[in-house]
Amino acid sequence: MAAVVLRFKLQEGFNYNIIQKMYCGGFYKNLITAISLLLISGCAGIKAEGELVWPLPPDEPRVRYIGTLSTSRDIEKESIGKTLKTAVLGADVIEGLRKPYGIHVDKEGRVYVADTGLGKVLIFDYVANKFVILGNEGSGVLTKPAGITTDSAGRIFVTDTMQNRVVVYDKDTNFLLGIGKKGELEQPVGIALNERLDRLYVVDTKIHKIFVFNAKGDKLFEIGQRGTNDNEFNYPTNIFIDKEGRLYVMDSMNFRVQIFDAEGKFIKKFGEVGTGYGQFSKPKGIAVDSEGHIYVVDSAFNNIQIFDAEGKLLLYFSNMGTKRGELWLPAGMYIDENDKIYVADQYNRRVNIYQYMGEKYKAQAQQKALKN
């Protein structure tokens, strides 16, 4: 089967030789159709020395697939005591993801997943090697959690789209308070915290606004209204704050990303509806890496597109499927301080983890090599 070779320079440092098969679930009659449809079908990356990486060679890999999280077995290590217990009493109940949506990773590496199907938050605690289920009982019971974030004190903030509030817990998962007066929030989804300014940004999809609270729950101000102009939204979903405090909002039904400063002042926007490179069909998750690249999850394309700070497409990766590194109806995402990329893979009931192989990753790899 013939291959199409597309060589183009999207940005300095991102000179990719994109090689895709003309036949990827069907034969496309012309190159233009093939280019558009390949964004949707997104033929997978390749295995290089046992690794799954993007882009394809001969270019330098920029993204590497690491693994997945899906059940309690992914975090709880087997011990002699546990093995004996299993032998005597039988296997433990395995808790796992059902419909993951929002993701957050704290500075210690704990992974928090808001699962709308379970109605709970699942915590993969790498620090204590334990698996925690949050929102089971009491005043802090959850119904349909969507977004999640934490602060340096270990407090956990969860949006609940059915209860129309933000539920706050302490570091030991005890309920502290609910944020959002009756009738104030109608469908809170995305959430992000600027701890330095004591500002909690909550995206309300139904009201088409961003509500800004302090950590005590006092409302400070609002951003936006429904519309298509700058500073207006049409069913916004998710939000991410970069290291400079800028807000990146997924304005889903306007098929664009809007960027604001911490005060809610509009900075810029990019994106449009379509099935071509750099366009959006059903955008959901959004995040920014340490170098300022903007990542957008599209659940219709089943991939992640990476843009520069001006909104120019640099690369996309992954495709629809159930194999490692593949996605099926992806939703929320998060990028941690080490440029690890976490994506909620809803249909596959898992979180896929990738690594952006940028300057920070290279420096860490070099330091590790020197120590060894």
User: Residue for token digits 């950590």?
Assistant: 215
- Are 33 and 82 in the same domain? no
Percentage with pLDDT > 90 across the chain: 76
Provide the pLDDT confidence category of residue 155 given band limits of 50, 70 and 90. very high
Least confident of 50-54, 287-291, 334-338, 366-370: 366-370
What is residue 71's DSSP assignment? B
- Are 282 and 331 in the same domain? yes
User: Residue for token digits 């109608």?
Assistant: 186
Strand order in the sheet with 303-307: 283-288, 294-298, 303-307, 313-317
- Are 121 and 161 in the same domain? yes
Assess whether pLDDT exceeds 80 at residue 157.
yes
- Are 91 and 184 in the same domain? yes
- Are 29 and 161 in the same domain? no
Q: What is the CATH number of the domain that holds 193?
A: 2.120.10.30
Integer-rounded Cα Rg, in Å, for the chain is: 21
pLDDT in tens, 98-120: 999 999 999 999 999 999 999 99
Strand, helix or coil for residue 63: strand
Q: Which pTM value belongs to this model?
A: 0.85
- Are 228 and 317 in the same domain? yes
**61 inside domain:** no
**187 inside domain:** yes
**59 inside domain:** no
Rounded distance between C-alpha atoms, residue 82 and residue 88, angstroms: 10
Rounded distance between C-alpha atoms, residue 160 and residue 168, angstroms: 11
Rounded distance between C-alpha atoms, residue 360 and residue 290, angstroms: 8
- Are 255 and 225 in the same domain? yes
Containing structural domain, residue 140? 66-371
Beta bridge partners of 286: 296
pLDDT in tens, 291-342: 999 999 999 999 999 999 999 999 999 999 999 999 999 999 999 999 999 9
pLDDT at site 79: 45
**60 inside domain:** no
Assess whether pLDDT exceeds 90 at residue 227.
yes
Cβ atoms of 315 and 306 closer than 8 Å: yes
The residue-averaged pLDDT of 222-240 equals 99
Cβ atoms of 26 and 318 closer than 8 Å: no
**29 inside domain:** yes
Please identify, among 54, 77, 93, the residue that sits at the C-terminal boundary of a domain: 54
Rounded distance between C-alpha atoms, residue 303 and residue 317, angstroms: 6
**150 inside domain:** yes
